[in-house]
Amino acid sequence: MVLDPTKHADWEIAQEAETRMKTVYQIGEELGLEKEELLPYGHYVAKLDYRRILDRLGDKSDGKYVDVTAITPTPLGEGKSTSAMGLVQGLGKRNKSVIGAIRQPSGGPTMNIKGSAAGGGLAQCIPLNEFSLGLTGDINAIMNAHNLGMVALTSRMQHEANYTDEQLAQRNLKRLDIHPKKVEFRWIIDFCAQALRNITIGIGGKADGFTMQSSFGIAVSSEIMAILAVATDLADMRRRISKIVVAYDKQDRPITTADLEVDGAMTAWMVQAINPNLMQTLEGQPVLVHAGPFANIAIGQSSVIADRVGLKLADYNVTESGFGADIGFEKFWNLKCRYSGNKPNCAVIVATIRALKCHGGAPIPVPGKPMPAEYKNENVGWVEAGTQNLLHHIETVKKAGINPVVCINAFYTDTDNEIKAVRRLCEAAGARVALSRHWEKGGDGAVEFADAVIDACEEPNDFKFLYDLDTPLDKRIELIAKEVYGADGVTYSADAAAKLKRLSADPDMATMGTCMVKTHLSLSHDPKVKGVPKGWTLPVGDILTYKGAGFVVPVAGTISLMPGTGSDPAYRRVDVDLESGRVTGVF
């Protein structure tokens, strides 16, 4: 029945499977949901009323908590979402009660170069169109909430420029005296729109806005996306949104959304978005989709709320943290689990033989270009050398005190000798290793993988954070750089050093987490350096503050909050089948 993944695009496989997928009502019934807890959006997607569910199941013990992370990926990705879906399907084949918890993709990469983020082959999240094209509107809600904040900020600056104190008082307004060079907030849009990266706004007369430099970031980099990921309930979300610092005044005092009297209205746009979305795998297991990607420039985790719901509804909750364990898992470990209080039982590290070869010395593959010939032939030497990157990430997971499972995400060009080499090195380092063929065979190909995870979850573990919240900021950054990235130390730009000093004196710091911004393409800050770089220091160029989300954000290297659309973007191949209304070409 299922289409052959070696002959069909992911979207073709998804659409064929969608002809016989379960309705969301059936999935809700299988999960034991009450009618009011399931808010359908069409017949195949629903939002879950997290609050009713958590109220009803508050006393039930949590299921096992599994995070799927990866080695340092090539620009093509390691198939982490595919492996997360494969694991859910494999656990389903073992008759386990299981739920997946993944992130909603951003329209930027989907329309640009990456295509869908729903997995691939026979391990996918469906219905694919809804997943890839805005789902139930959470990212749009973030866009509206966020940009309303910018409307409030920019129109306030204009009115303060045009009106006297007395005229402001007639409108019950007190001058905020925002410093136009100290505006921290930017606009957002959910595409890779490099033309909006640096802009001048407010050109024209006095009714056409305050003239100043401004910028658009990609929607998923929004502080409100971070808040959606870590908020525990609506009251918590409301409180966090009100603390977002949008600018500083001329005396260098922070100006918040609450000062702009827009925090309530911003929250109003988010009341539906706080509920996680229920979908399904190709094989009918439930999947929660909530919050957004980009662990390099954002927290990039599925939401605390989705995981809490998943842990109550199933015996296994499989979540995913973006990119490699240095980036995604480190934030899962020290930020998300700290806010949620949930303790993971095991972390899966996904690796492809392709990426291990790349870390071992093979030429770096380029998206959209043919794969270099080196990847088609056996080369155990490259694989062994590249496995050092994998071993580094195994050590990271062990530092968190939890049990690592290596998943070799199989590809048809892999050879037995290459796989044996990885197994040998990883098992020697104390990790379980499973070869998994979920891409080719779905859940049937992932039972070895599922068994390894089941075993790892049964073992005791000793989960602990890398740093306590009373650790000074510079020490935290140093710990992450040395213990997770393998750097020798940290250097700061003058600007970052000044901010470090100011932040270290801020009493609010004690309750804030550290959310690093760094490339995902290397353990270091330089995307070109593969393997396990030695003898380097991490340059921190800037430190942002997300007071609402509760993050201090050190920025390592040069990385933009607005990616660019390439010259051969995916949207060229996207269309609509006019007969069925289904979208084609999102692969």
Instruction: Write the CB contacts of 512 (distance below 8 Å, at least 6 apart in sequence).
Output: 469, 547, 550, 551, 552
Tell me the C-alpha distance between 242 and 212, whole Å.
24
Assess 180 for contact with its own copies (CB under 8 A). no
User: Which region, judged by CB under 8 A, interacts with its own copies, from 202-210, 321-329, 408-416, 546-554?
Assistant: 202-210
Catalytic residue among 46, 226, 229, 295: 295
| Contacting range for its own copies; rule: CB under 8 A; set: 93-101, 127-135, 176-184, 395-403 | 127-135
Examine residue 247 and tell whether it contacts its own copies (CB under 8 A).
no
Catalytic one of 47, 80, 499, 547: 80
Provide the β-strand partners of residue 406: 349, 433
Residue 472 sits in the site that holds its own copies (CB under 8 A)? no
Q: What are the residues whose beta carbons fall under 8 Å from the beta carbon of 342, sequence distance 6 or more?
A: 62, 65, 304, 307, 308, 311
User: Residues touching its own copies: how many (CB under 8 A)?
Assistant: 85
For its own copies, the closer CB: 376 or 572? 572
Contact between 428 and its own copies by CB under 8 A: the answer reads no
- And the tokens for 285? 């297991």
Q: Is 243 a catalytic residue?
A: no
Q: Give buried/exposed letters for 364-397 (b at 16+ CB in 10 A, else e).
A: ebeeeeeeeeebeeebbebbbbbbebbbbbbbbb
Nearest to 204 by CA among 255, 143, 158: 158
Longest dimension (CA), the chain: 80
The answer to whether residue 134 forms part of the interface with its own copies (CB under 8 A) is yes
Which residues participate in the annotated binding site?
A: 74-81
d(CA 52, CA 74): 42
Instruction: Go through 416-429 and write b for each residue having 16 or more CB atoms within 10 A of its CB, e for each that does not.
Output: eebbebbbebbeeb
Name which position in 1, 59, 95, 207 contacts its own copies (CB under 8 A). Answer: 207
Query: Nearest approach, Cβ of 105 to its own copies (angstroms)?
Result: 13
Cα within 13 Å of Cα(579), Cβ side: 0
State which of residues 133, 364, 419, 529 lies at the interface with its own copies (CB under 8 A): 133
Beta strands at 64-70 and 187-189: parallel, antiparallel or unpaired? unpaired
* Alpha-carbon dihedral sign for residues 487, 490, 493, 498: positive
- How far apart are alpha carbons 126 and 118 in whole angstroms? 7
Q: Which of 193, 258, 469, 544 binds its own copies (CB under 8 A)?
A: 193
Cα 471 to Cα 394: distance, rounded to the nearest angstrom: 25
Question: Is 189 among the residues that bind its own copies (CB under 8 A)?
Answer: yes
Catalytic-residue membership of 181: no
Q: Which of 391, 389, 379, 398 is nearest to 425 (CA)?
A: 391
Contacting residue, 2, 201, 469, 497, with its own copies by CB under 8 A: 201
State yes or no: is 82 an active-site residue: yes
Residue 255: CB minimum distance to its own copies, A: 15
User: How many angstroms separate the CA atoms of 81 and 295, rounded?
Assistant: 14
> Is 19 an interacting residue with respect to its own copies (CB under 8 A)?
no
Q: How far is the CB of 159 from its own copies (least distance, A)?
A: 4
Binding flag, residue 585, its own copies (CB under 8 A): yes
Shortest gap between Cβ of 128 and its own copies (angstroms)? 12
Q: x/- site string to its own copies, residues 356 to 395, per CB under 8 A?
A: ----------------------------------------
Residue 114 bears catalytic tag: yes
Q: Counting contacts by CB under 8 A, is residue 479 touching its own copies? A: no
Q: How far is the CB of 448 from its own copies (least distance, A)?
A: 38
Residue 192 binds its own copies (CB under 8 A): yes
Residue 295 is a catalytic residue: yes
Binding-site residues for ATP, please?
A: 74-81
List the 489-492 sheet strands across, edge first: 489-492, 537-546, 551-556, 513-514
According to CB under 8 A, which one of 2, 57, 168, 529 is a site residue for its own copies? Answer: 168
The verdict on 519 binding its own copies (CB under 8 A) reads no
- Is 194 an interacting residue with respect to its own copies (CB under 8 A)? yes
Q: Is position 262 an interface residue for its own copies (rule: CB under 8 A)?
A: yes
Identify which of residues 472 and 564 has a Cβ nearer to its own copies in the complex.
564
> Is residue 270 within 8 Å of 280, Cβ to Cβ?
no
Q: What character string, x for contact with its own copies (CB under 8 A) and - otherwise, covers 27-46?
A: ---------x--xxxxx---
Strand order in the sheet with 178-183: 178-183, 245-249, 254-256
Contact mark string toward its own copies, 51..90, x via CB under 8 A: x---------------------------------------
Give the Cα separation of 446 and 346 in Å (integer).
17
CB 85 to its own copies: min, Å: 23
Catalytic positions: 80, 82, 103, 114, 295, 323, 411, 439
